[in-house]
Amino acid sequence: MKDFLVKTIPEFLLVKDEALREKCLNTWELAIKEGGWCERSILKLPFVLTELKDCPVLLVEHVRNVTQTASMIAKFFNQAYQTTEKVDEDVVIAGALLHDVGKLLEYESKDGEYAYSQRGQYVRHPAAGGILASKNGLPEMVVHIILTHSFEGDKSYQTPESYIVKTADWLNFNYLAFTYPNQMKH
């Protein structure tokens, strides 16, 4: 399963700390198991169910793009501002890889249709993902990114790392909202 995950989301290899990368992979693996998914079904999972009408973007595609965006932003700030404290790029990448892993528990597939699972109607993916990551021993800074990346984080504390992932996620979401046909124009 881990080889499959790295092949599907090569951005796992951007995490330099091997122990951290392993925990990220373990978290995805646990989410796949707990959500009742398999290698085949995970590749078909959409990244949103109701927000963007007819948007064909898949969850794995979204995770890859958000991770690449967040990684670029972190790298940029680390190079652009020589006098500030450095952003932890590994934490940003790990947080981006895991920010939507809770969707594997939030969604379910029924007769080929995707819908919110029963638990997904109570626990949204940021909380579900945060719990999964915590169970797998991810550092607090990564768990924090997952917990605060959506509107749950609007009134919470942010770190430079969590703010970068939150922004990268919204940037990708809003880009699709503007550019896909049949989307509501803001």
Which listed residue (100, 107, 133, 145) binds Fe ion by CB under 5 A? Answer: 100
Return the bridge partners of 115, or none. 108
Distance between CA atoms of 83 and 79, rounded to whole angstroms?
10
Specify the stretch interacting with Fe ion by CB under 5 A; choose among 82-90, 99-107, 120-128, 131-139. Answer: 99-107
Note whether 165 and 70 are within 8 A (CB): yes
Instruction: From 6, 61, 33, select the one nearest 135 (Cα to Cα).
Output: 33
Size of the site for Fe ion (CB under 5 A): 2
Q: Where are the beta strands (DSSP E) in the chain?
A: 107-110, 113-116
Q: Compare residues 3 and 179 and give the one whose CB is closer to Fe ion.
A: 179
Distance between CA atoms of 61 and 41, rounded to whole angstroms?
14
Which listed residue (89, 90, 161, 169) binds Fe ion by CB under 5 A? Answer: 169
Q: How far is the CB of 25 from Fe ion (least distance, A)?
A: 19
- Asked if residue 106 binds Fe ion (CB under 5 A), the reply is no
Q: Compare residues 100 and 106 and give the one whose CB is closer to Fe ion.
A: 100
Distance between CA atoms of 167 and 158, rounded to whole angstroms?
11
Q: Compare residues 117 and 172 and give the one whose CB is closer to Fe ion.
A: 172
Q: Compare residues 89 and 100 and give the one whose CB is closer to Fe ion.
A: 100
| Site residues for Fe ion per CB under 5 A | 100, 169
